[in-house]
Amino acid sequence: MKVGICDTTFARVDMGAHAIDEIKQHVGNITFIRRTVPGIKDLPVASKKLIEEEGCEIVMALGMPGPEEKDKVCAHEASTGLIQAQLMTNTHILEVFVHEDEGENPKDLKQLAENRAREHAQNLIKMMFKPDAMRKEAGMGMREGRPDVGPV
Ligand code: RDL
Ligand code: RDL
């Protein structure tokens, strides 16, 4: 199976590497096709090309919106583009965004980004290979990168 990994140079943590490492630890026989672009607004077309031109069955789009208001707008635009690319290709693109201001300090941001990348990689594995395991988590208050909040 081909998995697309699309990430940015704007991000301050190499989330793509963490995602690939996590998938490799749990499933064999995956071909990774990785594309790095400057920023999150470049992720939608790069992801669409991974699906249409490289034959990826699922893509992770990893990026880091900055702390400024314009970065938040940028993130919303990128997100809209990623959704459109999913609808155009009928293929999942897992958006793995870590907003820079989610981190309480550089160390926390680094850990949060690694954890979110790895936990969304686990989501990818469940979606593609273990749909029953995913179903068991329905309504369980799962979060990525921070502790789960759990069901009410
Ligand atoms: O197509 C080139 C750029 O427009 C594109 O790479 C943008 O995503 C770059 N960019 C911004 O222009 C911006 O204002 C980014 C951010 N903010 C941001 O917060 N995070 C990014 N890119 O990854
Ligand atoms: O409720 C606390 C957080 O879950 C909330 O602040 C989220 O919005 C944080 N968050 C993002 O901002 C984001 O871009 C999350 C994700 N992506 C994500 O993929 N998974 C999360 N939170 O659990």
**144 C-alpha to center of ligand 2: Å?**
7
34 lines ligand 2 (CB under 6 A): no
Mutate to test the pocket of ligand 2, among 13, 94, 102, 118 (most ligand atoms within 8 A of CB): 102
Domain boundaries in the chain?
A: 1-135
DSSP E strands: which ranges in the chain?
2-8, 31-37, 58-63, 93-97
Task: Render pLDDT for 32-59 as a digit per residue (tens, 0 to 9).
Answer: 999 999 999 999 999 999 999 999 999 9
Q: Which amino acid is at 21?
A: D
| The pair of three-digit structure tokens given for residue 121, joined into one six-digit string | 């990689």
Q: Which amino acid is at 34?
A: R
66 lines ligand 1 (CB under 6 A): yes
Q: Please check whether residue 96 is in contact with residue 116, taking contact to mean a CB–CB distance below 8 angstroms.
A: yes
pLDDT at position 7? 98
38 lines ligand 1 (CB under 6 A): yes
76 lines ligand 2 (CB under 6 A): no
Q: Which amino acid is at 42?
A: D
10 lines ligand 2 (CB under 6 A): no
> Which residues lie below 8 Å from residue 116, measured CB to CB, with a gap of 6+?
15, 96, 98, 144, 145
CATH of 1-135, one of 3.40.50.300, 3.40.190.10, 3.40.50.960, 3.30.420.10: 3.40.50.960
Stated pTM of the model: 0.96
Mean pLDDT of the chain: 98
pLDDT along the chain (152 residues), means of 10: 98 98 97 98 98 98 98 98 98 98 98 98 97 97 98 98
Q: Please check whether residue 145 is in contact with residue 113, taking contact to mean a CB–CB distance below 8 angstroms.
A: yes
